[in-house]
Amino acid sequence: MLFAAQPTKVFCRGFFSKKLESFLARLFFKKAGKRGKMKQLMLGNQAVARGLFEAGCRFVSSYPGTPSTEISEYASEYEEIYAEWAPNEKVACEAALGAAIGGARSFCAMKHVGLNVAADPLFTAAYTGVNGGMVIGVADDPGMHSSQNEQDSRHYAIAAKLPMVEPSDSQECIDFIKAAYEISETYDTPVIFRTCTRIAHSQSIIETAERGERPLRDYVKDPKKYVMMPGNAIGRHVFVEERMKKLAELAETTPLNRAELAGRGVGFITSGTCYQYVKEAFPEASVLKLGLVNPLPEKLIRDFAAQVETLYIVEELDPVIETHCRAIGVRVDGGKDRLGLLGEYSQREIAAAFGAPVPECADFGEPVPVRPPVLCPGCPHRGLFYTLHKLGVMVSGDIGCYTLGALPPLGALDTTVCMGASISGLHGFNKARGRDSAKKSVAVIGDSTFMHSGITGLINITYNLGNSTVIVLDNSITGMTGHQQNPTTGLTLKNQPTPQVSIEKICEAAGVRRVRVVDPNELKELEQVVREELEADEPSVIIARRPCVLLKYVKHAPPFVIDDEKCKKCKACMRIGCPAINITDGRVVIDETLCVGCDLCTKLCSFGAIKSSEVHV
């Protein structure tokens, strides 16, 4: 559980406006009990949504991506906030920018790799600026709990020349969102709001406040500001550079950055979740906590460094703060040389790295068994990957639940790069290796990911006379991130009925003449369809359609059991990697608490040893 130290009183004196100065002072220095009407534990992502509500945000557009997903889900529960799932992060960012230009306070959320997708509008939004405030939420994932890379989003703030704020607990998630909107409107800029997995998915104490309604700002036509043709963009670049100078002055005085002086011995400069680790490992140390992480202050850092004998920098991922300190001539006595560039940190790791006693902890006396991720019992993707593995084809994979098809015993996937790359990558693979390659390779992609960034890859295949087979794994939901709606499901984020996008018609409109739909649990039909489409001399799409077994409307059949008298212990049923099937004391056993009665295993047993528990005696 995260608990933030009380901020020390810092007087706001600097360039920024009296209005912003007054707001930040009220936000950070109000007395306990005046913050709102309710004190409670709140998840970081839920607190971000609460901050959006209290800040008067009107518009939210996002694409789900762990660890950011719940922000938009919680935001959608407020009637005062319009919230939507966009097809991808680029669209979400553009929609939020449009809402901000239209005079509303807007927000979009994504995970760190989603910011790659949104980078195009992000960089130009830095030039156009805003009208109503705009905040871009990005959740980094140190340790790669649910991601394909470990990139540090602070580099985007630096490259795009945008301010970035980073909270350290749930209360700061609320307060920093409010501060971000004030900065956005004061300095005419989008603001990036950075969290990480630990902040997003930890709980700490917050106090709620009433919503601060913000009237819609007037929209005034201004092509020189919003039409980024070269002649106008040249002038806006001048504005961006001047704005960064003003933000640098803000960094020196804002209470988002605060010095907690506790002695002249050891001092730490840190931010985000690392602040919590440092405070636990070194409760008596002086700390400079940075909440505005771009631009970073110079004088504030120099002054803090001058007041401590030993200075350490603690930041996960890349040495952004450390590099800045060295560049401005501040000595650093330890940082990445002690902690490294990989993964998450912890209180124990920080204590060990910088010479504090490492508390002992109890253990189980034996190694904890490894529990690798697996497809759920009854997952509709299992039959497809079993079939592809059996056929021995090269499988160009994508991002989603089906990425787990790479693991044994299915072992089907050859590649996984990013959203939509399965289709584009397969096209390049087959063009490079010749037409025969298309008869031995497929791409797999989910329904939501196909909407996100698969369609353009499919168009690339047909337009450039490719001959690849694409399999869309349509499980009727966005599965990996926790069952979010998407354009193919017929429901919005707020569960309002909406036109249901047809994958079949999209494929036909893209120029694919061979589009087939098959149930992936019908193994014989599935294998026949895959073989036929691999042999076709033109592009083809197979839609493997079966709803996710965890959807509430999916009715489960009675579990299956093993007839020991008929079982030959051939282990054919083990080839699909179903968690409900295991071997205990030499016997094949089905765990009836896990089995959902999908009957896929029965199609692998040649001896009739797997039967429904309803009829088995």
Confidence of residue 356 (pLDDT cuts 50, 70, 90): confident
Say how far apart CA 125 and CA 128 lie, in whole Å. Answer: 5
Pinpoint the residues of the chain covered by CATH 3.30.70.20: 560-612
Pinpoint the residues of the chain covered by CATH 3.40.50.920: 258-354
39-252: CATH, from 3.40.1350.10, 3.40.50.970, 1.20.58.340, 3.20.20.210: 3.40.50.970
Confidence of residue 17 (pLDDT cuts 50, 70, 90): low
SS3 590: strand
Binding-site members for [4Fe-4S] cluster are 567, 570, 573, 578, 595, 598, 601, 605
Higher-pLDDT residue of 504, 613: 504
Say how far apart CA 65 and CA 172 lie, in whole Å. Answer: 22
Q: Which of 225, 256, 549 is nearest to 375 (CA)?
A: 549
Q: Which of 259, 264, 268 is nearest to 355 (CA)?
A: 268
| Topology given in CATH for the domain delimited by 258-354 | Rossmann fold (3.40.50)
CB 56 within 8 A of CB 387: no
User: Is 60 exceeded by the pLDDT of residue 18?
Assistant: no
Confidence of residue 25 (pLDDT cuts 50, 70, 90): low
Q: According to the model, what pLDDT value does residue 24 have?
A: 56
CA dihedral in degrees (107, 111, 113, 118; nearest 10)?
-10
Confidence of residue 10 (pLDDT cuts 50, 70, 90): very low
User: Is 50 exceeded by the pLDDT of residue 342?
Assistant: yes
Joined together, the tokens standing for residue 348 give: 């124990």
Helix H or strand E segment including 194 = strand 191-196
Q: What is the CATH number of domain 380-545?
A: 3.40.50.970
Average of per-residue pLDDT across 492-521: 97
Say how far apart CA 346 and CA 283 lie, in whole Å. Answer: 15
Average of per-residue pLDDT across 101-115: 97
Higher-pLDDT residue of 614, 492: 492
User: Is 70 exceeded by the pLDDT of residue 51?
Assistant: yes
CB 393 within 8 A of CB 125: no
Average of per-residue pLDDT across 9-18: 38
Helix H or strand E segment including 394 = strand 394-397
Q: According to the model, what pLDDT value does residue 613 have?
A: 82
User: Is 90 exceeded by the pLDDT of residue 591?
Assistant: yes
Q: According to the model, what pLDDT value does residue 370 have?
A: 80
Average of per-residue pLDDT across 563-587: 92
Q: Report how far Cα 368 is from the mean position of its chain's Cα atoms.
A: 28
> How would you classify the pairing of strands 560-562 and 610-612?
antiparallel
Percent of the chain past pLDDT 90, that is, above it, reads 88
Q: What is the CATH number of domain 560-612?
A: 3.30.70.20
Q: Which residues pair with 444 in a beta bridge?
A: 471
Higher-pLDDT residue of 365, 159: 159
Binding-site members are 567, 570, 573, 578, 595, 598, 601, 605
Alpha helices (H) in 254-405, listed in sequence order? 272-281, 299-306, 320-327, 336-339, 347-353, 381-391
Q: What are the b/e assignments for 316-336, b being 16+ CB within 10 Å?
A: bbebbbbebbeeeebebbbbb
- pLDDT tens digits for range 476-491: 999 989 999 999 999 9
User: Is 80 exceeded by the pLDDT of residue 363?
Assistant: no
Residue recorded with tokens 């902890």: 361
Average of per-residue pLDDT across 319-336: 96
- pLDDT tens digits for range 376-417: 999 999 999 999 999 999 999 999 999 999 999 999 999 999
Pinpoint the residues of the chain covered by CATH 3.40.50.970: 39-252, 380-545
What average pLDDT does the structure give for the chain?
Answer: 92
Average of per-residue pLDDT across 141-159: 95
Q: According to the model, what pLDDT value does residue 27 have?
A: 58
- pLDDT tens digits for range 62-85: 999 999 999 999 999 999 999 999
> How would you classify the pairing of strands 394-397 and 610-612?
unpaired
